[in-house]
Structure 1
Amino acid sequence: MAKEIERKFLVRNDSWRQNVTSQTSLRQAYLSVDTDRSVRVRTSNNHSAKLTIKFGSGTITRDEFEYPIPHEDALEMIEFAQGNVIEKTRYTVDYHGFTWEIDVFEGAYRGLVIAEVEMQSETDQPRQPEWIGREVTGDRRYSNQALATERLVPERVHAISH
């Protein structure tokens, strides 16, 4: 079992784009959700896919199981999505020993940009780039699960912090 340890932030500007190290188009759908667990299917760049199961309601740390699955199966599973299918492009930026993942949302949440940094320990203190805005770790309104399964809220789409 793997542990997911991450912090999440809104993004204040586009200056991160000059340091991008990778780019991946993602589509993800939640197949089952509860307050402390979820089952998600995600496709990457229209050719690979993973099934992810997460447990826990912790703010920073959750148990995570992830398995590659056939892309065709994922496309069929997406048809069973609860709520919205999340569409986004994920960019990575390396900054002072940490890899930041910047999600630029499309579709229903076009305009929303969120950065996440995965850590080895909850006590890690990653240095924050100047383009990082307000921290939203633990604010479930910005969790992918909530974005996919709860009613669309216009403020979320235009919540880029200055």
Structure 2
Amino acid sequence: MPTESERKFFVVDDGWRAEAAEASRIRQLYLCTGPDRSVRLRFRAGRAPMLTFKFGAHARDRQEYEYPVPAQEAEEMARFAVGNVIEKTRHLVRHRGYVYEIDEFSGALSGLVLAELETGDEVGEADLPAWLGMEITGNPAYYNVSLALNGLPEPGT
């Protein structure tokens, strides 16, 4: 069973921009959600739309399955979205042997910038980049499904 091990952080400044290797626009939406599962549809320029099933509580490790979907079928499925469509630009940033995904949100979530680090390794505080802020791994308010259903959390959440 494929497992995704992911840490999530606030980004506190633009120091990462000098290290950014590539960027891609993402539009994603949710077709159904539950307390410990979600079905996501993601569109990314130049790639086939992807249907993703995630299982497990909002924690560091969850099971994830991804499948390509024909573009026309994906657009038809998009009509059944629950909540808001998430729009963001994802930047890949390499730092000390790890790849961080920096998501700059737009639209209703404009101004929110989060970083994800997908690794099962225990990366110590001293090895994390200076542009990372507070770790929010396990805080369900900042998972994309919560952002789609509830919008931006109240400050301090």
State the TM-score, normalizing by the size of structure 2: 0.92
Return 5+ residue gaps in structure 1 as ranges. Answer: none
The equivalences for 1:1-162 within 5 A come to: 1-45=1-45, 47-119=47-119, 121=120, 123-125=121-123, 127-150=127-150, 152-153=151-152, 155=154
Return 5+ residue gaps in structure 2 as ranges. Answer: none
What's the secondary structure of 2:128's corresponding residue? coil
Measured against aligned partners, the alpha-carbon deviations of 1:22-46 in whole angstroms (never above 9, x if no partner) come to: 1110000000100011100000026
Q: How far 1:99 sits from its partner (Å)?
A: 0.4
CA contact (8 A) 2:25 2:45 kept: yes
Q: How far 1:78 sits from its partner (Å)?
A: 1.6
Q: How far 1:47 sits from its partner (Å)?
A: 4.9
CA contact (8 A) 2:142 2:153 kept: no
Opposite residue 122 of structure 2, the aligned amino acid is D
Opposite residue 42 of structure 1, the aligned amino acid is R
Distance 1:154 1:33, change over 3 A: closer
Opposite residue 2 of structure 1, the aligned amino acid is P
In 1, distance between residues paired with 2:91 and 2:48?
Answer: 17
What's the secondary structure of 1:59's corresponding residue? coil
Distance 1:47 1:58, change over 3 A: closer
What's the secondary structure of 1:77's corresponding residue? helix
State the TM-score, normalizing by the size of structure 1: 0.89
RMSD of aligned alpha carbons: 1.6
Q: How far 1:114 sits from its partner (Å)?
A: 0.2
What's the secondary structure of 2:59's corresponding residue? coil
The alignment covers a number of residue pairs equal to 154
Distance 1:153 1:103, change over 3 A: closer
% identical aligned pairs = 45
Runs of 4+ in 1 over 2 A off after TM superposition: 152-156
